[in-house]
Amino acid sequence: MQALQNAGADMIELGMPYSDPLADGPVIQASSTRALANGMTIRILFEQLKGFRNKIHLPVLLMGYMNPILQYGFENFCRETSEAGVDGLILPDLPMFEFENEFGSILKKYKLDFVFLVTPETKEERVRQLDQLSSGFLYAVSSSSTTGKNAAISGQAEYFRRLQSMKLKNPVLIGFGIRDKSSFSKACEFARGAIIGTAFIKILENASEKDIPRLTNDFIKSLK
């Protein structure tokens, strides 16, 4: 996190490992499997996050899935997330109905932003509903695929222009398939920014701890 901040990242998304990450491709799946095999848990995550706000001033979100959070206790999880200093959550498998009727009020209680995802197939009425329920930003998935796929950003221009024309409440960030300066720049033509996970994890896959600042800096500078 310190390396990302120093390198010029604008926001940090921390992935919480899960055994069945439905929105994630093979690279992030493998990283989750590796983390879980090493004993990673939500409890350990909160221990690692203690005091991080003494150094990190960027917005920080947790991205994960409902199953382990429900096992932990949704309100307990939200309370500890807020107490740790995290700003919000991305939970791709939390349906809109359940958010409105059960979980949204808990997120609001602990002043946590919540980010919904939309895809090229999401109808305009639903996009507007998800935009109204989201806070922070709206996550525009570049294709109906998983993270890390070679999504043709340029081929989705009509979809991105449609989102632009809707004058949504939230800024839009584009994710899935963003991996280099070309795809990052193309996404930023249509949105306020782009989200990169797989390409960064690949760079860190076999890195030693001392190499992380240099590799992170080189990667961010190659994009921006």
**pLDDT tens digits, one per residue of 92-119:** 999 999 999 999 999 999 999 999 999 9
For the chain, what are the domain ranges?
Answer: 2-223
Handedness of CA 73, 76, 82, 86 (dihedral sign): negative
Confidence of residue 79 (pLDDT cuts 50, 70, 90): very high
Q: In the prediction, which pLDDT does 31 show?
A: 82
Confidence of residue 30 (pLDDT cuts 50, 70, 90): confident
Active-site residue list: 13, 24
Q: Identify the helix (H) or strand (E) that includes residue 44.
A: helix 42-49
All residues at 6 or more sequence positions from 224 whose CB lies less than 8 Å from its CB, including other chains:
8, 184
| Residue 159 clears pLDDT 60, i.e. is over it | yes
Q: In the prediction, which pLDDT does 148 show?
A: 44
All residues at 6 or more sequence positions from 218 whose CB lies less than 8 Å from its CB, including other chains:
none
| Residue 8 clears pLDDT 60, i.e. is over it | yes
Q: In the prediction, which pLDDT does 36 show?
A: 77
Confidence of residue 21 (pLDDT cuts 50, 70, 90): low
| Residue 28 clears pLDDT 90, i.e. is over it | no
d(CA 89, CA 138): 12
Number of H helices and E strands in the chain, helices first, is 12, 8
User: DSSP state, 151?
Assistant: -
Q: Which tokens belong to 111? A: 């002043």
d(CA 150, CA 157): 15
| Residue 150 clears pLDDT 60, i.e. is over it | no
Domain 2-223 has CATH 3.20.20.70: yes
d(CA 218, CA 207): 13
Q: In the prediction, which pLDDT does 58 show?
A: 98
